[in-house]
Chains A and B, each alone.
Chain A
Amino acid sequence: MEDRDSTVLHPPPNKLHQTTPERIEECKIELGPDGYGIDDHFSRLPDLCIINIFKHLERCEMKTLSMVNSRMFPFANEREFDSIKWERNYLLVYEDVNRYSFTIEGCEQKHDCDYKISRNEDGHFTETRECREHVQILHCSIPLNTPLKGTHHTKTLRTKTVPSSTSVMDYFFAALTELLRHRGLFYVTLRDISITKADNVEEGRIILAEFVRNIDAVGLYYGQNIINEYFIRTLAGGKVKDLSSDDPIDFGDMCRISVEKLEYFFHPDRSILPFLIGYEILEIPSLVLNHNWIADLAMMCIEFYGKKRTEKNVVWLKFSVDHLIRSEEMRNRINDVEFEYTEENGNHFIKKRSDGMKVKIWTEGYPVEGSIVHSIILRVFDENVVKMH
């Protein structure tokens, strides 16, 4: 615009770089003193107007406009446009040619309904549902058994496929976290994730763990090699729930990682114990604890949950243990000034003398690949509230 007073409304452009003389010559457009083309009135629009123009664009058009020049470039990433960016509830994240494709689909599901059954004049019963709440759920598939050629935009990737050797890329999780945060989504299902990129398994695991802890609830159907000590430590404080269970959606402090096939076990050191406490439910069958730590873990649970009584008054922890636990060992390991140990019918009980908080411990054995794996279950409860035998 000819009127330079209009710069009152124009904040100085935040340019990615200054236009060099070479570039001026290259584009053969005369530039004004502010670095924009003499006839480039569009770039001189105030931010507010440009934002308003962007609001009318769809995601792909935003992308095109952001590539026009450095003035437009930052606007495509404005958080204000996030509802527009994803309004189709569908996002494909992909890389092409010998790399990997991801599909994310968001959908809104009706949840928490009132059911009303009424009888029509003709004698038939009609059921109506009145929905009190909509829950947004994001489904994500990371499939691909073999590298696909070219660029893929197909929705067929939504379907669940067998675990693959697909590596999880960091930008995928960055994108997904952003997407979830902006849309206020609190639940994500991850299927068939396999971090097997030979040179970078640990990094992929860390990225996934960092991602998972930023989401309120995650259904994690994992492939192999995801869960290790670092993963659990990172996860501690996060919330994970396995969608494969039919439990009602209850996103309390809950961490349950399902293992349909126990393909991978890990043996952490003792320092992991504090990170296993704080959940109402925590099941990690692939985590193998040393049997000598169980008494300590039980006493730590009693101390923790005694101070923070849970609503249900019962906490459930399930892991694997390297050997069956023995009464004598348990008895020797507890602090018998503060705690009392008893054994009944093969179940071990540790109770805090002062407040009645109690842990019931028992083991179950099941065969895995020709050998027996022992799982150990700790139920923490308040004896004054819950009677458990």
Chain B
Amino acid sequence: MVLITLVSSDEQNFPVERELLKQSGTIETLIVNMNLDDEDTDAAAMPIPLPNVKGDVLEKVIQWMEHHKGDPVKEGDNEDNNAEIVVPQWDDDFFKPAMYGSKHLELTVAASYLDIKNLLTLSCKAISNTFKGKTGPQIREEWGVPNEFTPEEEEAIRKENEWSE
């Protein structure tokens, strides 16, 4: 089994099975560019630095990839009907504990940076699910977002949106 080492921004090393990394478009490109798949190359001696991903987040990403090992990898733009996407129970349980904190959002950013399409889609879908049936003030409260709009601005935005109700 070929292992490739990923290095997080805080210098933690994560040896990861080569097969798992096919889910990440970014890492896959790096592997190809660094010729890590060549028989002559000592992949273990050439760690891949990921300066935009912290260790604890990378650990979660790897955990997710391990669970989804063998899943078909999406290519190109996501053409799925987003309304029909359902977050599987395992993923829901995986995302939920950190949903409203920074960790889940960091995981989403990492999925975007590492180009892991399935993780990004499910993660964003899980976030969007938290908005269902909520009002603006409720969303602000749950996500810790300050209200920057004056009542007049809120009214102006409401009116602007009104025509498309």
Contacts and interface: CB of A to CB of B under 8 A. Distances in A.
B109 A46 contact: yes
Interface string A62-92: 0111111110010010000000110100011
Nearest to B10: A3
A31 B134 CA distance: 24
A337 interface: no
A203 interface: no
A42 B145 contact: yes
A175 interface: yes
Nearest to B106: A1
B85 A45 contact: no
Tell me which of B51, B157, B164 has the highest count of chain A C-beta atoms within 10 A of its own C-beta. B164
B149 A5 contact: no
B82 A40 contact: no
Contacts of A41: 101-102, 105-106, 143-144
Given A6-B52, A17-B148, A37-B146, A64 B140 contact: no
A117 B7 CA distance: 67
A1 B146 contact: no
Contact of B139 (A29, A65, A153): A65
Contacts of A87: 83
Contacts of B162: 94-95
B148 to A, nearest CB: 5
B165 A60 contact: yes
Contacts of B157: 66-67, 73
Given A87-B83, A153-B165, A5 B144 contact: no
A112 B52 CA distance: 54
Nearest to A70: B148
A303 interface: no
Contacts of A36: 145-146
B161 A67 contact: yes
A56 B128 contact: yes
**Taking chain B's interface residues, is the majority helix, strand, or loop, or is none over half, making it mixed?**
helix
Given A69-B145, A69-B147, A1 B109 contact: yes
B165 A94 contact: yes
A39 B144 contact: yes
Contacts of B129: 56
Contact of A37 (B54, B145, B158, B163): B145
B106 A9 contact: no
Interface residues of B, number: 47
A357 to B, nearest CB: 49
Interface stretch (A19-27, A223-231, A340-348, A378-386): A19-27
Given A3-B54, A46-B112, A67-B157, A40 B165 contact: no
Nearest to A93: B163
A37 B144 contact: yes
B131 A57 contact: yes
Contacts of A175: 163-164
Given A41-B101, A52-B124, A65 B131 contact: yes
B108 interface: yes
Interface of B: 9, 51-52, 54, 78, 82-83, 85, 101-102, 105-106, 108-109, 112-113, 120-121, 124-125, 127-129, 131-132, 134-136, 139-140, 143-150, 153-154, 157-158, 161-165
Given A64-B139, A67-B136, 12 more contacts: A1-B105, A1-B106, A9-B112, A17-B148, A23-B148, A40-B146, A49-B124, A65-B139, A66-B161, A67-B157, A84-B82, A94-B163
Interface of A: 1-3, 5-6, 8-9, 15-17, 19, 23-24, 26-27, 29, 31, 36-46, 48-49, 52-61, 63-70, 73, 76, 84-85, 87, 91-95, 151, 153, 171-172, 175
